[in-house]
Structure 1
Amino acid sequence: MKIAVIGLGVLGAAAARALALAGSEVTVFERTAPLAGTSGTSFAWTNSHSKDPRSYHDLNVAGMAEHAELAKSGADWLVRNGNLEWAQDAAGAERLAASVAELTGRDYPVEWITPDRARELVPDLRVPGEVRDIAFYPTEGHVFPALLVARLWGEAREHGAELRCPAEVLAVSEADGRARVELAGGAADFDAVVVATGRWTETLTAAAGYRVPMADPDAAGSATVGLLGYTRPLATRLDRVLTTPDLNVRPDGAGRLIVQGLDLDAHADPAAPPSAGGDHARTLCSRLNDLLAGTEGASLESLRVGQRAIPADGLTVAGFLGDSGRIYALATHSGITLGPLLGRLAAQEVLTGTPADALADFRPQRLIGRSGLPPLEPARFAGQQ
């Protein structure tokens, strides 16, 4: 089959790889550059926290397993050595205990450890004196998105996939039993098209006549936006994810860290990105010093406003837009965790027409044409983002 994939973030690269491995003739259209959208500004934590309903939790667990399976043949993009989380007040402790109990009931790997055990895992960790119990999630981890896309797209390319970039797709449509991709310089027909355009999903699906509403990616202080700080190299020992009341942190390679304070996201505005030397940056660096020894004098190389790609009801979209089986849409807030899995399942459905049971609750038909959906609540506690 001759298949077009629109977008070369994690989802597009994963779909292109799976389609190419199955023998399809794959053409990827990317407007600006690989990773130019949400995939390039992500905390990139693989997990299944606060993922409800249960089918969404299970989908994310399967996404984590897909990463592990892919990693059997080498995994420079994936670090899978756990996440540490604690609470600092009574309300937080109650919320964390409830979350751990729910995850335990779902057979999700989690255990309570002591601060001493936490410092064995992270030698430079500074645990507040009042903290006695720390949740450890051993199967969670983090991803280096550029390396993941390099792996996925590299294998797609080795199996014949071609990239057209820069190439802005103006519309997709169904015509004469084919899927048509319209560009400024003309149009091309394919057997099917996979739309993997992240926060631009609504515009392109509307042009196809099947508008899938997305949460506004430009709304300041909303659930879709968040601040991500990227530090200069630091002499601190951290090799895993930390999700704490004031700061989320993960390694970003070569001694650099990515830092995130969810309460500060209320000030995130894509139209007015903050300075890497401003008040928000200083706050993040101060919190980092409270959390990890060896971060004295930390500063940020950049402070970015991430714009999340979130379908309007907060859940993943995966499926054909119409009955013809020509235009397939992928959109999700959990693109890093779910990317390799969704790419494989989308390829399966496009090429065989056989529905994947895991995607039954996430079809775009639940959202197509809907309007007036309530705004999503911003993430303010670890696990909600």
Structure 2
Amino acid sequence: MRHQRGGNLPTVGVVGAGVIGSCVSLFLAQCGVRVHCVDRGRPGGLTTDASFARLSAYQQPTYRRFELSHAGIIEHAHFAGLFDSAPWWHPTGSLAWAGADGRCGVSTRSFVEEAERLRSWGYRVIWHDAAKVSRELEPAIPFSPAQTPVAHLTEEGWIDGPLMVSSVLDAAKSIGEVTLSNAGVQEIELRGRQVTALRLDDGERLEVDAVVNAAGPQAPAVAATLGSPMVSGIADRSSLVLDLAGDSDPLRHVLRGAELHARSAGPGRVRVRSEQVDAVLTGEAESDLGRDNVENLLDRAYRTIPALKAFTIERKRIGTAVFPADGLPSAGALSTVSGYYEAFANSGVILAPLIGRALATQITTGEIPSLLRDCSPDRLRVAA
């Protein structure tokens, strides 16, 4: 790593203790880097906690984005193998099917075309008729008609984001010098165009050799404190997520139904969302959590999984993601500021271990992994 102070260990400030920030911290610690991880909230308690957290490469509009997502899923399996146990990782597989119009969710491409395109790209897709799925794979779903084609996406699954963050940060602290600060970032300090410190909103100042901006929805605001704001190509997306609690575990797989996405969220818990409900959200959290949207989502849940009528709402949240509009992550070094790196993405849960390993490699060796060569933060600084 180039940015070192004397003979001491190099020090990196990681802004954000979500799923990406925690993975960056762990891989840096493995490389012998001192890490200050900073987050104004509980680690894994903000965007990571509200995410649907599905591991999937389905419905990606280009091969490039599919390639990254698929590599992210594969990386999760390798990452879980680094631990004696990985109770956050659930490689259950997914089941997907279309509605009467032949489409799944709000996609403009037909469901069969979408699934067959995935298979042509090397994704494992197994076709079943609904009668077999109800009989052998997912008895909780009353398909109609029984001949409905169902795609079994065997490589997919889901992640318990908060549990993953907690486990990963514990591992990072056990192998290296990793500290956690519960505060927001007021400013990234520079000397010339070199990162020198993080100034926190609680008055603390942390001297660092480099900074990784993994602040999720706050990443653009953190970048602005650097004096190099993101000026183009930023998008956002909101999703209404309900956690339902009951006395049973009705689901064995992640479901991507015509009008509902659902997965287990642990014993006696099910997490649900809907693309159709998300499409009418306004971006105002208070109104989006209103009765109409919640009842709309519940109606779709009950039609898809009748057993959920016996469940109660445990939590309801709006998850908001901010990400580069081209769908690729912003992952790597900003060329105009020495020691500043970004790590934020659409589908951050899927890409977190992949980005964490890649950034630790780039920071410590200067090598840019081939999968991230077109993901530079520089592209977000070009005025539209």
TM-score normalised over the length of structure 2: 0.88
Give me the whole-angstrom Cα distance separating, in 2, the residues matched to 1:329 and 1:210. Answer: 12
| C-alpha distance in 1 between matches for 2:127 and 2:266 | 28
Of 259-268 and 1-10, more deviation after overlay is shown by 259-268
Q: Look up the equivalent residue of 1:79 and give its one-letter code.
A: H
Partners of 1:313 and 1:132 lie apart in 2 by 34
In the TM superposition, 1:320-339 aligns within 5 A as 320-323=333-336, 325-339=338-352
Distance of 2:197 and 2:147 partners within structure 1: 58
- Distance in 2, Cα, partners of 1:319 & 1:216: 16
Q: Which runs of 5+ in 1 are unaligned?
A: 218-222, 372-385
Separation of aligned partners in 1, 2:93 and 2:52? 15
**Can you give the 5+ residue segments of structure 2 that lack an aligned partner in the other structure?**
1-9
Asked if structure 1 preserves the Cα contact closer than 8 Å seen for 2:130 and 2:146, the reply is no
Deviations 1:146-180 (CA, angstroms, capped at 9, x unpaired) = 11111211111112343343222112143264432
What displacement does 1:45 show? Answer: 0.5
C-alpha distance in 2 between matches for 1:298 and 1:214 = 43
Match of 2:11 in 1: 2
Aligned partner letter, 1:205: A
User: Which residue among 281, 305, 308 is the counterpart of 1:267?
Assistant: 281
2:104 aligned with 1:95: no
Q: Is the CA contact 1:249–1:259 (under 8 Å) kept in the aligned structure 2?
A: yes
Q: 1:145 to 1:317 in 2, by over 3 A?
A: same
Aligned pairs (5 A) from 1:142-157: 142-157=158-173
Alignment map for 1:344-355 (pairs within 5 Å): 344-355=357-368
RMSD over equivalenced CA pairs, Å: 2.2
Residue 201 of structure 1: aligned partner? 219
Count, aligned residues: 365
2:125 aligned to which of 80, 95, 110: 110
Q: Which residue of 1 aligns with 2:149?
A: 133
Distance in 1, matches of 2:296 and 2:195, equals: 53
- Which one of the candidate residues 305, 308, 316 is aligned to 1:295? 308
Q: CA deviation at 1:296?
A: 2.8
Deviations 1:50-98 (CA, angstroms, capped at 9, x unpaired): 3343222211111111110122232200111211111122341761111
What residue number does 2:26 align with?
17
Partner residue of 1:179 out of 196, 199, 204: 196
Q: Tell me, in whole angstroms, the C-alpha distance in 1 between the residues paired with 2:91 and 2:288.
A: 32
Report sequence identity in percent: 26
TM-score normalised by length of structure 1: 0.88
Cα distance in structure 2, aligned partners of 1:356 and 1:157: 26
* Aligned AA (2:169): W
Residue 235 of structure 1 is matched in structure 2 by 248
Distance, in Å, in 2 between the alignment partners of 1:55 and 1:308 is: 21
1:81 match: 92
How far residue 317 of structure 1 moved from its aligned partner, in angstroms, is: 0.6
1-structure distance, mates of 2:223, 2:316: 32
Residue 66 of structure 2 corresponds to residue 57 of structure 1 = yes
- Structure 1 residue 40, shift from structure 2 partner: 1.4
User: Per the alignment, do residues 56 and 117 of structure 1 end up closer, same or farther by CA in structure 2, a change over 3 Å counting?
Assistant: same
Q: Is the 8 A contact 2:187 2:226 kept in 1?
A: yes
